[in-house]
Amino acid sequence: MKTKILKSIIIALLMTNASASLFSKDVNLLNVSYDPTRELYAEYNKLFASYWKSKTGDEVRVNQSHGGSGKQARSVIDGLEADIVTLALSYDIDIIASKGLISRDWLKSLPNNSTPYTSTIVFVVRKGNPKNIKDWDDLIRSKVGVITPNPKTSGGARWNYLAAWAFAQKKFNNDTNKVQDFIKTLYKNVPVLDSGARGSSNTFAQNGIGDVLIAWENESFLILEEFGKDKYEVVIPSLSILAEPPVAIVEKNAEKHGTLETAKAYLKSLYSDAAQEIIAKHGYRPRNQAILKKHEGKFPKLDLITVDGHFGGWHKAQKDHFADGASFDQLYVK
């Protein structure tokens, strides 16, 4: 009798497993992201794939595409079939949404305006800081080579530009002419404008060009880790900016691919404790305050302005500074 019961249980389990196998499927997601998130998402993708397989039985493969945030947004609009975008700033996702690929209210789809992590802007200099770079006004001195990407294509470059602008406004008591002269002089010191943040990091750290790199905070950690603390060091400016890189589902593509449920879970899971730990590990500031506090020794406290509070939001900032004929085009002299 016991043998029959045991056999029945085994058969039932085998049938359950066979059924699960029968209905499980392979899922491919494309995450179109900005330049320096490669390492973060490479690790997170493994975490999510394991979680999703245990939950659904599905095998998930997440493909990644990286580049300057503005350039990536344009690629999605032009036909790159992203299921997910994880870009450097909300304006770039809004542009995709304006084409009907993403819900107009995407910003409210997830906590913290769909930003599962934050970052800021710092300086990286060569060991010993031979040019004695301490703050933004040191970047306009003669014979100081400044490396920063092109704000026409790079999201990080736009954060860099606005942080420098805000510093100049504070320094010159909102004297517009002096602020513009400051920015113009700073960009005269830029020998090359790469299309994205990772390209600028390579220009500075690999190719040895320039004296100071204006960088995402997470990118500064990576440079020290990859090239050595004996070769580079980080300088924290007196004023910087709260960078909030958002995420969104490209619903039109995800519905077409049959990946909508998986894509939603992929982004929602970025807020899980395990994902927030990975975020901190890779030098981004987690939104989970308990996990942020756990890693507070890694992230220095800075005086941070916000785009909404200081520049009237990203749409106004884009119009005033980065649209064709706006301040960057007026002040950047090739």
Same domain, 130 and 207: yes
Mean pLDDT on 236-251? 99
Same domain, 38 and 110: yes
What's the CA dihedral at 207, 211, 217, 222 to 10 degrees?
A: 30
E strand or H helix at 258: none
Q: Rounded to whole angstroms, how far apart are CA atoms 199 and 109?
A: 32
Confidence band, pLDDT 50/70/90 cuts, at residue 13 = very low
pTM higher than the cut 0.85: yes
Query: What pLDDT sits at residue 333?
Result: 84
What is the per-residue pLDDT across 247-264, written as a single tens digit (0 to 9) for each?
999 999 999 999 999 999
- What count of other Cβ atoms lies within 10 Å of the Cβ of residue 306? 14
Mean pLDDT on 157-165? 99
Which residue range(s) make up the domain with 173? Answer: 121-242+303-331
What is the per-residue pLDDT across 181-234, written as a single tens digit (0 to 9) for each?
999 999 999 999 999 999 999 999 999 999 999 999 999 999 999 999 999 999
Q: What total number of domains does the chain contain? A: 2
Contact between residue 72 and residue 87 where contact means Cβ atoms under 8 Å apart: yes
Same domain, 60 and 101: yes
Query: What pLDDT sits at residue 246?
Result: 99
Same domain, 66 and 136: no
Instruction: Give the CATH number, domain containing residue 65.
Output: 3.40.190.10
Same domain, 82 and 215: no
4-8, 11-15, 120-124, 171-175: which has the minimum mean pLDDT?
11-15
Q: Rounded to whole angstroms, how far apart are CA atoms 253 and 296?
A: 38
What is the per-residue pLDDT across 277-318, written as a single tens digit (0 to 9) for each?
999 999 999 999 999 999 999 999 999 999 999 999 999 999
Q: Rounded to whole angstroms, how far apart are CA atoms 253 and 271?
A: 23
Which candidate, 18, 7, 219, places its Cα nearest to that of 120?
219
E strand or H helix at 296: none
